[in-house]
Amino acid sequence: MMRLIALLTLSLVLAGCAGGMSKKECLYADWRAIGYEDGAQGRDASAIGSRRVACADKAKITPDMEAYLSGREKGLDQFCRPANGFDYGSRGYSYTGACAARDEGAFVAAYEKGLTLYGFVENYNAASNALANAHDELGNIDHQIAHAQAALVNPVTPHPERLDHLAELKTLYERRDKVRDAIPHLTRDADLAQAELEDYRHEMADRDYARGALAATAASY
């Protein structure tokens, strides 16, 4: 199971590399193992297409489709389980129907629950980032204000520059007021997003298929 979770974590990267087989890889390919990898990652059988083109071009090799499809079926046996559906959804991955010939109902139901978790995590992260950015902006404005004030009272600052600093301070004070006014709203948004996420995690905590993904996502926020 841990091996499968690792494969799922890498699936987006590997999907982009599927057709990048070298001549040597084509010549010594274990098509059953490749099929298993594709099945375990929930890839459609069409994933073999890019490999077929690469191996025909580089090594004049045709994939062993019987071995590939046999391996893929074994991989799908591992992939098409509710726990993996929930995990897949919780990572925000797209499901393309690889489990249609199996007990897809249970898989898809868990996948959709996982997608819901993913949405709550994304909402919380977005709200938290917005609040953190506002605090960062406020600190930056305060720094600019202090710099402008110091220049304004410096006796060597020419009069025209003093006027520029006064105008700058007016703008900075207005920006600071806007950011200060926004922070309570952003704080409430972040608190609400966190409460919604925690409520959903609590709701899912007694589902056996969700426990692994819940533990994994706990470290992401």
Tell me if 89 sits within 8 A of 95, measured CB to CB.
yes
The CA distance from 64 to 72, in Å, is 12
Work out the mean pLDDT of the chain and round it to a whole number: 87
pLDDT (tens digit per residue) in 152-204: 999 999 999 999 999 999 999 999 999 999 999 999 999 999 999 999 999 99
How open is the CA angle 53-68-103, to the nearest 5 degrees?
120
Residue identified by tokens 């202090």 is: 146
Tell me if 127 sits within 8 A of 186, measured CB to CB.
yes
Burial class of residue 136 in the structure, from the number of CB atoms within 10 Å of its CB (0-12 exposed, 13-18 middle, 19+ buried):
exposed
Residue identified by tokens 């703008």 is: 171
The CA distance from 196 to 217, in Å, is 15
The CA distance from 164 to 148, in Å, is 9
Instruction: Give the global pTM.
Output: 0.77
pLDDT by residue, tens only, the chain of 221 residues: 333 433 333 333 333 344 568 888 888 889 999 999 999 988 888 888 888 888 888 888 888 999 999 999 999 999 999 999 999 999 999 998 999 888 799 999 999 999 999 999 999 999 999 999 999 999 999 999 999 999 999 999 999 999 999 999 999 999 999 999 999 999 999 999 999 999 999 999 999 999 888 887 776 66
Residue spans of alpha helices (H) in the chain: 2-9, 11-17, 23-27, 31-40, 48-59, 65-79, 82-90, 104-153, 159-204, 211-218
